[in-house]
Chains A and B, each alone.
Chain A
Amino acid sequence: MKKKAVTLFLAITSLVLVLVGCSGGADEGSASQDEKTIEFMHLWPEGSSAQHHKIIEDIVADFESNNEGVNVEVEVLSNEQYKDKMKVLSTSNELPDVGMTWAAGYLEPYVEGNKFASLDDVLEGGLQDSFVSGTTEAYAIDGTTYGLPLELNVAPIYYNKSIFEENGLEVPQTYEEFKQVVATLEENGVEPIALGNKDRWTGSLWYMYFADRIGGPEALTEAIDGNGSFEEPAFVEAAAKIQELADMNAFNAGYNGLSDQEAKSMFMSGQAAMYMIGTWDLPNYTTNEDVPQDFRDSVGYFKFPTVNGQGDQSSFVGGPGVGLFVAENSDVKAEAKDFVSFFVEQWGERSVQDAGVIPATKVDAESMDLPQMYVDVLNDLNNASNITLFADVQMSPDAAEVHLNQIQALFGGEITPEEFAEAHQEAMSSEE
């Protein structure tokens, strides 16, 4: 009896081990000795970002055929899953050879932890000049660049021309005019602004523009890196302006509980007149066939107005989106660097033409057949006096969390502008 039990137990355990063990080793033998594999992780799944995905596939295929004996193994995750997986992989020191990173605050701990390789050598051979100035800088720490940006976005205010026409409204140039627009729309029973502030960075954009207009283009960046203070009157006033708009019912009902997606849908179904979002949304208003033609035709955009006669309308909130990194401990670092360099070269024109991405590399808008709104945005970008990087991207993740929560509280009227400023200053000073 005893013996039988032991045998059975051993049999089951070894069966499990064999099953598990066998399949565990299966992957290993396949790669031959001199073939090199670059693991590449990105966040543009085929289902949601078909064109992005296709361009990447093409670039990878071209790279593989140009480089005999090098394979690129691609893993695709959705945005949030991507961030989670980066975290898991970094704890085990298993980052992919090439992956995507965000600028500044996201990048910093990876650089400090010596996880990302310097890309200065990649930029040296003239590649630096192909980037729009100011974009690679967002990926640089102490003068060394660790990421090659792929996108460059600014956030204008999109508006529905037909709604403006019906209500006899003009594009506002000043905050006073803007308030007048809001008041008229509100009186006529139209939601003035669609805002999904569950995502928090959406509300942050509004605050950043007020801070920029009132405090000047450098103010926010200085306050974040410790050379200024969030308790300066300009920031308190910017926060007060947010609450002023909120009190005027400028934003749709329940904005603090709505996602950006829901707010966007309100704008896109004509339920709200204005909507602030990054230029990554341009395809929705130009080329996306799923959106009715008459709606696309009725969308325009304008620059954030001046406030109290202050501020420069060609100063934008925005910045580069994702960029490519190469892992410091990669076994194929040289090949990986070749790959990222090849990638950004190929990416530029194709991304804007096929996927409607505004790339961080310079593009010649004249030579391409682009919708008018793209041409306008590219022109605005060329003439931009300043682009302030999204606050939550600039800040360290800890400070960003405070900022974003405070944004929700500010919009919700739970705190005063002074408390808002105080909480920010506290968070910044605890950064050391």
Chain B
Amino acid sequence: MNKVMSNKWMIAFYVLPALILVGILIFIPLGLSAYYGLMDWNGIGDMEFIGMENYITAVQDMKFWDSAFHSFLLAFFSTLSLIVYLAISMILASKIKGADLLRKIYLIPMLLSSVAIAQLWIKVFNPSNGILNKMLMGLGVDNPPAWLANPDIVLYAIFIPILWQYAGFYILIYYAALKNIPESLIEAAKIDGASPLQIAYRIKLPLIAGVVKVTIVLAIVGSLKYFDLIYVMTGGGPNGASEVMASYMYKLAFSTNDFGYGSAIGFLLLVITLIVTVIVRKLTADKEELQY
């Protein structure tokens, strides 16, 4: 058994194709981007080696840390939202009538591209014609906020479509994991007189713990490098109030000709994400891996 499963040729055969592809198409660009980070380069003319200067500037750049803080807030809320998605998945995966249809309906918005989602939420948030403010005014609110214009609100306002956009993704994963639990285990618990809540908490949750941990990492990593809706809906504004790390990096590299500095920020983004991920993995580490 061990001999077969530790055959070096076989391992190479199974791992190398993916590893080579990722190595060439992700790690080489990553290395190059770290290298550009050492340059004073506008991306157009000649580049000049300036050592760690860009990285030092970044560490002192308040705009960068503001954007990093915004990204961390998003990561925090994304992680929290997983609880809701998990609860919904539990309901959908239980044997209630119509669950199958409901699940499909719930996941439909996930199919929409960011272009569509951005347009939809721009219409929701429009200060005078928007759905949200029309509803608020109908409820008697005199001066409903300008959601995307107010620097104190814009960040939280824009989190809503971002979290909503990913709901389907996590529900899909949790659903598959929950459906993977052998029916016999749940039946046994029912016979022992466990309530649905007890079954969810004592049996289902521990059994999909591995999947939950993975989704926590995905939520954090995805949030820290998030870009799409921020860029389309607010462009990071007003005056940087909704800037996140990736949008800041994009602006530097593509709009303001600080390509070297932008690359350095991009690399820092990765380092920060890596550190956070390692910490999270350590915190959620479990000694034994569960098997059914």
**Which residues of chain A have a CB within 8 Å of any CB of chain B?**
1-2, 5-6, 8-9, 12-13, 83-84, 87, 90-91, 109-110, 112-115, 191, 197-200, 252-259, 262, 266, 271, 396-398, 400-401, 405-406, 408-409, 412, 414
CA distance A2 to B253 in the complex (A): 48
Contacts of A87 in B (CB 8 A): 43, 253-254, 259
Contact in complex: B146, A5 (CB < 8 Å): no
**Which residues of chain B have a CB within 8 Å of any CB of chain A?**
7, 9-10, 12-13, 16-17, 42-46, 122, 125-128, 146-151, 154, 234-235, 237-240, 251, 253-259
Report B134 CB to chain A, min CB distance, Å: 13
Contacts of A259 in B (CB 8 A): 122
A258: which of B7, B17, B149, B253 is its contact (CB, 8 Å)? B149
Contact in complex: B237, A408 (CB < 8 Å): yes
Contact in complex: A90, B43 (CB < 8 Å): yes
Q: How many A-B residue pairs have CB under 8 A?
A: 117
Contact in complex: B256, A397 (CB < 8 Å): yes
CA distance A254 to B148 in the complex (A): 7
Interface of B: prevailing SS: loop
A6: which of B9, B42, B257 is its contact (CB, 8 Å)? B9
Q: Can you name 13 extra interface pairs (CB under 8 A) apart from A109-B42, A257-B238, A398-B256?
A: A2-B9, A6-B13, A9-B12, A87-B43, A87-B253, A90-B44, A91-B43, A109-B45, A254-B148, A256-B238, A257-B148, A396-B257, A401-B251
Contacts of A5 in B (CB 8 A): 9-10, 13
Contacts of B256 in A (CB 8 A): 397-398, 400-401
Report B198 CB to chain A, min CB distance, Å: 47
The 8 closest A-B pairs by CB, nearest first: A254-B146, A113-B45, A257-B148, A254-B127, A257-B149, A256-B149, A113-B44, A254-B149
Contacts of B257 in A (CB 8 A): 109, 396-398
Contacts of B254 in A (CB 8 A): 83-84, 87
Contact in complex: B259, A91 (CB < 8 Å): yes
The winner among B44, B126, B253, B255 for most chain A CB atoms within 10 A is B44
CA distance A390 to B149 in the complex (A): 24
Report A20 CB to chain B, min CB distance, Å: 12
Contacts of A406 in B (CB 8 A): 239
Interface of A: prevailing SS: helix
CA distance A199 to B234 in the complex (A): 9
Contact in complex: A409, B239 (CB < 8 Å): yes
Contact in complex: A414, B239 (CB < 8 Å): yes
CA distance A401 to B255 in the complex (A): 8
Residue of B nearest to A410 (CB): B239
Contact in complex: A252, B128 (CB < 8 Å): yes
CA distance A90 to B90 in the complex (A): 51
A262: which of B126, B147, B259 is its contact (CB, 8 Å)? B126
Contacts of A84 in B (CB 8 A): 254
Residue of B nearest to A253 (CB): B127
CA distance A405 to B255 in the complex (A): 13
Contact in complex: A412, B149 (CB < 8 Å): yes
Contacts of B13 in A (CB 8 A): 5-6, 8-9
CA distance A311 to B188 in the complex (A): 87
Contact in complex: A405, B154 (CB < 8 Å): no
Contact in complex: B258, A398 (CB < 8 Å): yes
The winner among A115, A255, A412 for most chain B CB atoms within 10 A is A412
Contacts of A414 in B (CB 8 A): 151, 238-239
Contacts of B147 in A (CB 8 A): 254, 257
Report B5 CB to chain A, min CB distance, Å: 13
